[in-house]
Structure 1
Amino acid sequence: MVNKASAPPRHHAHLFRAVPDSDTCGANRIVCDVVLSLLHAGYKMLTTGAKIVKTGGSEPDAFEGQISQALLELEMNSDLKAQLKELHITKAKEIELSGKKSIIIYVPVPQLKQFQKIQTRLVRELEKKFSGNHVVFVAERKILPKPTRKTRTKNKQKRPRSRTLTAVYDAILEDLVFPAEIVGKRIRVRLDGSQLTKVHLDKTQQTNIEHKVETFSGVYKKLTGREVSFEFPEPYL
């Protein structure tokens, strides 16, 4: 019999309607226990993947399942329920930067603004759940290759600027530093030809995000291969 304390939510109750009471199973007790175990496993899979919808319909990996479960718990047990109810992520990665792990969570582009409305609170709650590891959110964007003579004849539709490599990389940078705004950039070219982009951020957000700028730089290099550093210059009068 399903323990009331661990009974599934009402919207998954149909999974358990046909399950016989284990007290009445008699000789089929083992079969009943196996059925119950399988149903509970299926229910766990349903709930674990409830907050992630991967592009192409592939199954989430174990770490993505943990992130999805954490988001589901926040939806069920916090005042973020109303906002999280209609939102989902598309993938998640854990990377190591300077000996410390950081978490990148990807969200659908159409849902980015909704995530950003609760992002400060959401990041704080997730970092508590994942041992203080820094959490960043970025939209999952697709870069379209630069058209060639052959592709121009096949694809009559012009490539949107938002799908160019430069636009996508700029958007990733803006996502990473949110809620701070980028107020300027300077590109430094080294003697060996390599480049470092110095990104100027809104000084009013310095106390909120300064402790994360190394994470932002590391994540950005992992995602784009480009080096950036961050500064908080005094505003011009």
Structure 2
Amino acid sequence: SAAPQALLELEMNSDLKAQLRELNITAAKEIEVGGGRKAIIIFVPVPQLKSFQKIQVRLVRELEKKFSGKHVVFIAQRRILPKPTRKSRTKNKQKRPRSRTLTAVHDAILEDLVFPSEIVGKRIRVKLDGSRLIKVHLDKAQQNNVEHKVETFSGVYKKLTGKDVNFEFPEFQL
């Protein structure tokens, strides 16, 4: 896809050159996010996620200029290990770390997705037919920066995890 090429171009001739030189990406994927819009997901190695997040705001701005009308999100490439069964226990002697569980990975994807905004609350609504809707409350301080992207976030999360998610910017009363 064109995303790695664009990152390479940015590395060649932009003020982000020094930071981008040490960073790699593992994959890039273009998906439909409803309403005929497309989003580009760029997967990065987990150890490098922090470094990407330092320059993410500027990087996303530059990449979205290049791919007009497409939103760009950075997500760490994480692994989900299967739940150990009685049979599989004998094969792998090591305990599965919490960071490799499905729940932990899905939560982490959500955190990566909404960066630079922060998740301040979560509600899971179980409907009568048993389907779940996750309502995620985002920090009101970043509302102007991410409000126009919440549909993209929902679409990307649905594509990656199969879960429905809804983003809100609640007014908190104490």
8 Å Cα contact 1:203-1:235 kept in structure 2: no
Unaligned ranges ≥5, structure 1: 1-62
2:78 maps to which of 138, 141, 148 = 141
Letter aligned with residue 186 of structure 1: R
Correspondence for 1:83: 19
Correspondence for 1:179: 116
Partner deviation per Cα, 1:182-226 (whole Å, 9 max, x = no partner)? 111111111111000100011000000000000000100000000
1:95 maps to which of 31, 34, 38 = 31
Give the structure-2-normalised TM-score: 0.97
1:1-237 map, 5 Å: 63=1, 66-98=2-34, 99-237=36-174
Question: Secondary structure of the residue that 1:151 maps to in structure 2?
Answer: coil
How much identity, in percent, do the aligned residues show? 82
Higher helix share: 1
Separation in 1 of the partners of 2:158 and 2:18?
35
Question: Secondary structure of the residue that 1:152 maps to in structure 2?
Answer: coil
Separation in 1 of the partners of 2:156 and 2:6?
22
Q: For residue 67 of structure 1, report the CA deviation from its aligned partner.
A: 1.4
Separation in 2 of the partners of 1:131 and 1:230?
24
Give the structure-1-normalised TM-score: 0.72
Separation in 2 of the partners of 1:122 and 1:218?
21
Unaligned ranges ≥5, structure 2: none
Separation in 2 of the partners of 1:217 and 1:101?
12
Question: Secondary structure of the residue that 1:153 maps to in structure 2?
Answer: coil
Q: What is the root-mean-square deviation of aligned Cα atoms in Å? A: 0.9
- Larger Rg over CA atoms: 1
8 Å Cα contact 2:37-2:69 kept in structure 1: no
> Which structure ranks higher in relative contact order (CA pairs < 8 Å, sequence separation ≥ 6)?
2
Paired residues, what number? 173
